[in-house]
């Protein structure tokens, strides 16, 4: 499975540069680049650190979603729109 685009998107949505990600995950910037470009295998420990660094709050659910190929960004945007619309409907 190709995780690179998902990793890159979560990093960008979190507003982090590759250098920021490197500092937060204790991975080299070149490792961050290789992971985002599918040139390196994603390890479970790296995924957990990545999700923590991007402040995805429910790491276990997010990890399962990533492994299953769910686009976390699209899912988050859809849920935000849905919840926002529901709140607008209430008031």
Span 13-55, pLDDT tens digits: 888 999 999 999 999 999 999 999 999 988 888 888 888 898 8
Boundaries of domain holding 76: 4-90
Run of H or E residues at 35: helix 29-36
- 41 and 4 Cβ atoms separated by less than 8 Å: no
CA nearest neighbour of 47 among 70, 33, 66: 66
Number of structural domains in the chain? 1
Instruction: Express each pLDDT in 62-72 by its tens digit.
Output: 666 666 666 66
What CATH number should be reported for the domain holding residue 52?
1.10.260.40
Q: Record the pTM.
A: 0.64
In terms of Cβ atoms closer than 10 Å to its own Cβ (0-12, 13-18, 19+), residue 36 is: buried
């Amino acid at each position: 499975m190709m995780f690179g685009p998902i990793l890159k998107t979560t990093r960008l949505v979190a507003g982090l540069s590759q250098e920021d990600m490197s500092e937060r995950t204790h991975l080299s910037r070149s490792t961050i680049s290789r992971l985002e470009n599918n040139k390196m295998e994603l390890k479970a420990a790296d995924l957990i650190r990545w999700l923590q660094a991007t402040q995805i709050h429910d790491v276990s659910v997010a990890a399962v979603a990533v492994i299953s190929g769910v686009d976390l960004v699209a899912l988050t945007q859809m849920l935000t729109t849905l919840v926002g619309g529901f709140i607008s409907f209430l008031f």
